[in-house]
Every structure is written in structure tokens, then in C-alpha cells.
Structure 1
């Protein structure tokens, strides 16, 4: 036996204890070289361990997962590294058995791929075992696995996260941790974190309030930061801020892992987010924080509150807007027109949530910039949009209109001659306006009905564009097949979730462009990181969108391809990141990255900036390992 087991034999206090040690050592050869302390005669006493924090959670021998008591969590520096609800061993077993039975009974469990959830589980297990191999598989097969680790499957993962939970990933800050966050943040073992994706679980994709289970979206986004942008996986951190949930089903679910209380609101809510932001930027002053899937009520408010102080952005507001702008500019090119013609486009927008308002604001600024520096540029740009929400067309007559939507409310004298009024339905608006673009950001599946699509067909545009951007797949405003079949072969179609191209006959293909945020946010994050920009400016986001819009060749665009393939995502991200770095330099926001100072960045030309970005993208290769005693 090894010296370790010999020492245990000496310490064993009785012949029976010594026989137990010997039997344990000889029955499992893999244990012979184990270095942990184990005394079979003292099973009722506390076990001495020589590790804390994530080292405990990543050790299959000592890890209890959600069964760690709050006392143990404080003693072992685990507070914040697990969902806040303490679960008994019996509940853990029950949850596992329920999930096992569900797997046995349901094989078709994915919204896009019938085996999507099964693939996610297999990939997740690989991630748990071997992170380098996981990211190598993901990068080399990104077109196949992006829909598994991200949309649309990530929505299904979040809906079932309490049942899927096996090992913790990321950090959990909850309402129960008020006053503790500045110390909790030091429980994370990484000395440097470059990228945080944080959610409060209040509006996961188009699925609504999923509470603590929303951590799945942060994990999925960071997988893409690693795969697409080459952010080092040891320097990323998914975060869940659990302030409760208003999802009654979760409040009654005995296996739910989050706080089973209604959501905090108002000043209490803001104080928690403030404390979190102060904590992470105190420990990691240069970190970038991406806000993800916060409900519309808070998304814009928090963005305005923090964006001038911290390196942060909101992907739903700004990322979605950037990808949509790139697609809208691509649609102009697909009509054989230069992008500068964008301000002439008539755009009907279905949806006035955080994503919809984000797109509207960005599109208006883009139009205004193209119109030139005259005082009526913003007003002229505003007049190109008709915004329809659940109550119909938004006009100045609307009572209690959302302040963020107010700038886009149509004036009565503008719409009277069109036969429109406050609250006009979507189909009425499309029929009267005859838009160049119908943009869906409503999260209402099937909103683009047969009548709406027929109205698009009557548009005066030579090639109308239909953007069904809501995620996941079931929330898409229409499918690609519906759009091409009803609105006509010549349309330009884009969606948020993936759809297959449509065979139009006679050798013609209706291209389904996936206008996914993954084209933009990894490049925005990487470019911000490598520039060392103090904040993420509108100009940096605009540069990213215009870079994406220009990525496709003229020949591809005229065929109706306005977004590149996912397979080229790493190259796209490199180009977008370089555009962001250049804009940060031009705006004098760049402060440099590691050994590269701002003055050195300013000397780089466009090609050198691209090379600089590429040289700083992590790739999963096995490192040489050397052991050293403490």
C-alpha cells in the first residue's frame, strides 16, 4: 500500500479499524495514491479538508452541491458560489430521479433539434470534465453546437435548470447577501476576470421570469465569448442576481433552487444591483460587465445609471440594436442601393420592450448621422418609424406611454391622412404604411399572421424585408417558410433563432438569415478589453454594427444573404473587435491593454489592429503542466 494508507493504518485505533482501512485501500487501486485525509473510525466527526471555495465544489469526493448548509458555505468560502436555497440530500436524489425518468420518457425534447437537450447534457458533462477539449469541440463545430449552448436550446435549459443542475458554474448574489457582496466577490478564485455576464432572470429570452434558473443564459453567452472572441475561459464569470421571482410556478416548486419570494422592486432592487457593481469593480477594476435579459422596466434604467461610470453594456438593448442595424443596412444593400440610403426606409416595428426601444434609438441615431449635422436630423429620422405594441400603434394620444417609447409616438396630424389612429392594429399599419421593413421584437410567436404577411407583399418596396427577431424559436413572429410562401419569393428574411433555408423551386433558395446577437457582442467585449476603453460608447457600438453590415460581399447580399454564416464567427468577431478598438482610439477612450499602452495603440494602422486582436485571442491548446508543492 502507499505511504498515505500506511499512515492511516498506524492511526487506526483498533484491529477492526485497521481491517477497514486495508479493505478500502486494496478494493480500489485508484485510491492508493489519493492524498486526502480519511479516517474510517471517525466518520461521525467533521472531515478535515485542505481546500475551499471552487476547489471544494469541483472535487467530486467532497462536493455536496446545493446541500451545503449556510454555516458550511461561510466556513468554506462558498457563499455566493451556489444558488441560495439549501436543499436536502433527499431532495437532491428526488430531483435527479425525476430528471432521469423524464429522460427515459422523452427523447424529442428540443425546440429546433429533437435531441437538443440531450446534446446539451453531453456537452455540459464534457465541460465539467475537460474544459480545453470542450472549447475545442465548440470552436471546431460552432455552427452545429452554437444552437445547443446558446439560442434556442439555452431557453429550454433555463426552463429546466433546477432539474439539470449538477455542478455549480458562476456566482450567485442574492437579496439575502445584502451587505456581504464586497467580501463574497473574493470567494471567486480568479485573480483577474475580464468578462462578466449578469442576469436577474426576470426576462429570459421571450420566456419571461425564470428566476435563478436564468443563470443558464449567462453561462451560454460566456461560452460564446470564449469560442467566438477567444476570451480566456479562466477569466470569465457568469453571474445570477437573485432578487426573488414572480413566477408562481417556481414559488411553489419544491425543487426550485432560488429564493422563493416575490421579486424586490424600487429602491431595494437598485441598492442590490448597486452593491453588486461596486463589489465586482472594486476587485476587478478593468472587468467588462454585460447585462443580459433584465426586464424592460429595468434594462434601460440600469444602462443609463451605469454606462458612464463602468465598463458595461446591455446586450438586449445595445447588442440587439447593433445586429438589427447591420441587418437593416444589409437589406438596403440587397436592393442594390448604397447604405447611405438607409434614412429613406419606412420601418414598422412590432414590440416596444427593451430590445425594441434599443433598436429604435440606435436606428434613429444611425439615420441622423447619415443625414448630416443639421438640427432636424433626429426629428427627420424619427418620422421613418411606426411603433406597434400590444395596444396597437403608439401615438401622442396614448395615455401613460413608456417614457422610452415617447420619442417615437406618432403625431396625430402625421397619421390622419394615412387613415391611422391611436391603437391601430399591426395589420392596419402595414397596409397603410407599406413599409420597406417589418421588424419584429415582440416575443409574441406567430404575430406576423397571414394577413400581416399578405400586407407586406403589397409594399411599395422593390424588396421588402421581414425581421422576425424574437427568441427562442417558438416566440419568432413567423417562420422563414411562412414569410417566403405568403409575402413572396423576393423578400429578405431574417430571424433571431435559426431556420432552414426555403426551397422556392426552379433552383431558387429563400435565404434565412439568423440575425443573432452572437455576431456582435463577442466582438464588442473583445474590442473593449483590448483597447482598454474607459466606457463603451455609442460610437464603438455603431462601428461594430457597420463592420458587420459591410462584412458580406456585394454578390452575397444581392442574393439575399445579409448576415454571414455562424461557421465564420471567429473571423467576424476579430473584424468587429478591430473596428471597436479603432473607434475607441479615435474617440480617445483607449487606455491600453496589459503591456500595450494607449500611445502604442494609436500608432497601429487598420491591418496592424486586426493582427493585434488576432494575437490576443485565446485558443484551446493543452498546456504543459508542472507540479509545485505549496
Structure 2
């Protein structure tokens, strides 16, 4: 297991020193207002006088030159003023107001935008990412001002190979792709799901230092089955039912071929595909292209790190993970992904398939109740986790047993929700967890956005007991338990892993992302917290240290790729250099390759 170094101020200074070195000049082929209208090159009032002269900007800007730091302070003052002026307004109104002010900055000045985001990631991640991004997607038609990313639709069949060359960047490292079919827990939002790739890639820039000129959000519009959207005059997507079967796969096939023809070293992250296509596309492409599915594999990695942390919180060795009784509510792509990775890790700990078969530690439920081998039309993805009637079975638990029945009979160590059904962990269910066989049971309410969380943090500690370990997908405040005690809320957020997975894969030069690489990332995150923190119920680190966490996860990915002989090297660093890097050298290599926003000197060239 990759052991994570502790985050320190020195680590952060090193990361910034590597990535924020004085940049060389940037050649531009624009002058005058064309530069001011390009968010990548625009510095607003920050253009020095010499640049104003050589770029034809004299007279197009107020005469005073404002430094980058002064611009930063001015924006933050505006943001704080907005916070003050919206006090008492409905939460959705406030969230969208905050998103708008950040989005306007993004549209105008990308360098300043990413600096603001990086330095305030803990406060701004919930705005540009979950949970506010769900609200943005729901209202996308009315919020749309300018296009961002690329849109490929069913009407573009046969044209994608030429369309991909319409994107101006010569090189793209990271693509986040969605078809809008299952946006968070909100369902089919069609083309409005583009907000998800945009938000995810902003996190890639902030957390992993991906160069924002080399990222690409993509919407694959194959129609929508959301009748409300089809009747909405502001809807911007195709007004027709979703493609299915071979017609659907033909569109995705064509897109993937086009992407990797132009950018053979790119990485594609599949995001928010409905379950059947999430698994189908993962199996279809993972051996042919460098891709992964964040809902299946990223969620699994973060959840696994939480599950391993829960074992440590009980004061038990990690090898006791195989003895944990885990009830999972939600048999979609995320739930199945978590179970698959957890089963692989348990298998590795137990050493043989025979032991694993005799130690079935998972109980999986969907909207119809407990899934067993008696289930009619059993989904192939859920089949490996269906309960039988052999060793380890509990008398009285049959097909379709309710959640409360399962908890009372199994007395699980962990109750994990990925159902997308808000409030499914009600008072009765949470009180039943008090009878857990664990001295410190875990309740994970991981569905997004906040309104879809299986329970709130307050209810979890109130009904399941003050000694529980709690994690959620959306942010909740810590809970005051009285007498100076705090119920710690752990946000089991995919942003702890996917930036490091993407960056580590890129820097390793791997053309395939293996299960071993994913497990290395999860185990890296699981080892981050000290025993003292774990005993307090803190399973995940502060988002404020996300760049350092990403450096470590990225380094773990590289070492796993080298160990599995999948690495080929990146840029000037070849396989030979990667093979001989120590852990510290690998960490420094990752940190050095993180982009950090500073204004580059601009030089005009015709």
C-alpha cells in the first residue's frame, strides 16, 4: 500500500514553487479588442504599458495598471459583498448568484479565475462542482450565455472526425464526457448536463494543475426522454427521444475514434451515464482507449477509502475489512462499482476465491429490496452480489426483504447509500443501526446533490448514535453533540481521487487504466489520515489540501503503472527514469508538472 506523506506548509510551498515559476513569453496572433475578448489572454487592467503598446491596447483600457494581486483582492471583495447582500435569500438563489459571479470571471479572465479557485477551493468547490452544479444543469437553458466545450449530437453522425479539428487546441490531455442521461441524482437532463464536464474539468485545473488550454468538456447529445425538457422553449438540445442499442453505441464509437485519432495520448473520463451505458462503455473501451468511468471507479475508490477508514476507526487492523458486514442501498453504476472494488480488495486480503465465496460480506438492495439469486430478470451487473442460500446467509432474509428487515437481521458494520433517494435512511432505519455488531458503526449517505442524500448528518448522529462514523457525498456542517463533542462530517467526494487518477495516468504515459492503478489510488487516500484523526471520526482530509493529496494520488498511480508494466513515460521523462524514481522523486515529478495561474508576457506575431 502506498503510504501518503503528511501535508505541510512546506509541501504546498514546494508545489507552488515548481508550478508557478516565471513563465516564458506567450506568442499571440491577435491584437487590440480581439485580445480583450479572449479569456485566456485577457489580463483586464493588468496589461503593463509595454504590452499595451505592442498589442495595440493603448486607449482601450483605463490608464491605471492594476497588479494581479490587486485584481485578485478586488474580485474577492466583490464576492464577499455579494455574500453580504444575499443574506436571508433562499439557498438556491444564493448558490446561483455565487455561480454567476464566478462564471462571469471565467468568461472574461481565465487566469484570474483559476487563481481565485485554487486559493479558495474549499469555499468555491461546492459552487462550481457539487452540489450547485446540479442546480446549474437544471437551469442551463436560462443560464446559457456563451458556449464552453464541444457538442456532438446524433445529427453529426459521419462528421465527428472532421468536427474534432474545430477545437483550437493543438493538444488535449483531459476530456470529460457525458451524455446527460443520469446527471447526479437528477436523472435525464439531456444537453443541459454539459455543466458536469465543465465543473469536473475546473476541479482538474484547481486540484491537479491540468493546463486549462489542454482540457475539453464534451456533451454527447443523443436526445432526451425528459418530456419536460422536450416541451421547454429554452431547451438547447435535440428534441427527440434518446437513441438506444446499436444506434447509440455507433455514435459513441465514432466520437472515441475521432478523439484518439487527433489526440492519441488524451484521457477520457466518462461521467453521469445511465447505468446500462456506464458499464457497457467501460467494458467496451477500457482496453482500447485510455479512459475510465468516474461514477463506477472514482466513486468506488473514495468509498473504499472510507470503508477502510471505518475499520481503523473501530481500532481494528485493515485486514479485518474482510469481516465487515456491509449493506449497500443502490444497485446503480456507483453502488456496483463500490462493491466490485471492495470485493477485489477483500479477495486480495483473503488470498483465494474459495475463501471469498465462503465470506460473502455484502448485502445489496435496490428499490425492490434485497437482491437475491431468486430475482427475476436479475441485472448481470448486480448478479455477482446477489445473495444465495449457502454459507453466511441469514435465515428469514429472502428476495425483496426491506432495508429495515436487512439491518435488523444482519446488524451491519456499515450502511452505505448510493440510491439517489433522499431520506431513505429514515429515523427507523438509523435507529436500527444502533444494534450493529460494530462498536462504532458507519453510515455513509453518499448520493448527490444534497436533496438526494439518504439522510442528513444531524439525523444520522441523532438517531444512529453519537459514536457513529459519518460520510456524505454532499457537504454538511459538523454536528454539535453537546458537552464539547463534535460529530465529524466526512464528505466522501470523488474530487479526492479523479484529479490524481487523471494526472498520474497522463504523467505515467499509460494507455490503459487498470484495476490495480485504481486500487492504488484508493489505498493511497485511505492511508492519508493519522490514527488520532481516524479515532475522532475524521476519514478524509480537508479539501484545502487538495493539490497535495492529488500529488500523492498521482504518484501512487505512476508507481502502480510502472509495477504493472503499463507506463511508457511522458515528455522528456521516459520509462527508464520512471522506473528508477523514489517515492519522493515521483511526488516532486508530479508537483513540477502542475500548472499554476500567473500572467505570461504576451508577444504578438503575425
Q: Is the pair's TM-score, using the shorter chain for normalization, greater than 0.5?
A: yes
Long gaps (5+) in structure 1: 1-32, 37-49, 60-103
2:259 aligned with 1:280: yes
Query: What is the distance in 2 between the residues matched to 1:416 and 1:441?
Result: 23
Match of 1:438 in 2: 415
Matches within 5 A, 1:482-521: 482-521=459-498
**Which SS does the other structure have where 1:412 is aligned?**
coil
Query: What is the distance in 2 between the residues matched to 1:34 and 1:234?
Result: 19
Match of 2:533 in 1: 556
Please give the root-mean-square deviation of Cα atoms over the aligned residues, in Å: 2.1
2:321 aligned with 1:326: no
- Contact kept? 2:39, 2:108, Cα under 8 Å: no
Matches within 5 A, 1:228-247: 228-247=207-226
Query: What is the distance in 1 between the residues matched to 2:295 and 2:97?
Result: 28
Shift of 1:380: 3.9
Query: What is the distance in 1 between the residues matched to 2:584 and 2:394?
Result: 52
TM-score (structure 2 length as normaliser): 0.86
Query: What is the distance in 1 between the residues matched to 2:90 and 2:580?
Result: 53
- Contact kept? 1:368, 1:380, Cα under 8 Å: no
- Contact kept? 2:138, 2:189, Cα under 8 Å: yes
- Contact kept? 2:358, 2:391, Cα under 8 Å: no
2:335 aligned with 1:347: no
Match of 2:397 in 1: 420
Shift of 1:375: 3.4
- Contact kept? 2:39, 2:109, Cα under 8 Å: no
Select which of 354, 361, 369 maps to 2:348: 369
Shift of the 579–205 alpha-carbon distance from structure 1 to 2, 3 Å rule, reads same
Match of 1:616 in 2: 593
**Which SS does the other structure have where 1:376 is aligned?**
helix
**Which SS does the other structure have where 2:544 is aligned?**
helix
2:112 aligned with 1:153: no
Shift of 1:108: 3.8
- Contact kept? 1:527, 1:576, Cα under 8 Å: yes
Matches within 5 A, 1:198-597: 198-372=177-351, 374-381=352-359, 383-413=360-390, 417-597=394-574
- After superposition, the C-alpha distances for 1:435-487 in whole angstroms (9 at most, x for unaligned) are 00000000000000111001101112110000000000000000000000000
Query: What is the distance in 2 between the residues matched to 1:300 and 1:582?
Result: 27
Query: What is the distance in 2 between the residues matched to 1:427 and 1:118?
Result: 41
Shift of the 278–331 alpha-carbon distance from structure 1 to 2, 3 Å rule, reads same
Query: What is the distance in 2 between the residues matched to 1:375 and 1:212?
Result: 44
- Contact kept? 2:229, 2:235, Cα under 8 Å: yes
- Contact kept? 1:349, 1:387, Cα under 8 Å: yes
Shift of 1:377: 4.0
**Which SS does the other structure have where 1:509 is aligned?**
strand
Shift of the 282–378 alpha-carbon distance from structure 1 to 2, 3 Å rule, reads farther
Query: What is the distance in 2 between the residues matched to 1:317 and 1:492?
Result: 23
- Contact kept? 1:211, 1:258, Cα under 8 Å: yes
Which is bigger in relative contact order (C-alpha 8 A, separation at least 6)?
2
- Contact kept? 1:296, 1:353, Cα under 8 Å: yes
- Contact kept? 1:222, 1:238, Cα under 8 Å: yes
Query: What is the distance in 1 between the residues matched to 2:192 and 2:431?
Result: 39
Shift of the 416–549 alpha-carbon distance from structure 1 to 2, 3 Å rule, reads closer
Query: What is the distance in 2 between the residues matched to 1:362 and 1:487?
Result: 27
Matches within 5 A, 1:142-181: 142-181=121-160
Name which one, 1 or 2, has greater alpha-carbon Rg. Answer: 1
2:569 aligned with 1:603: no
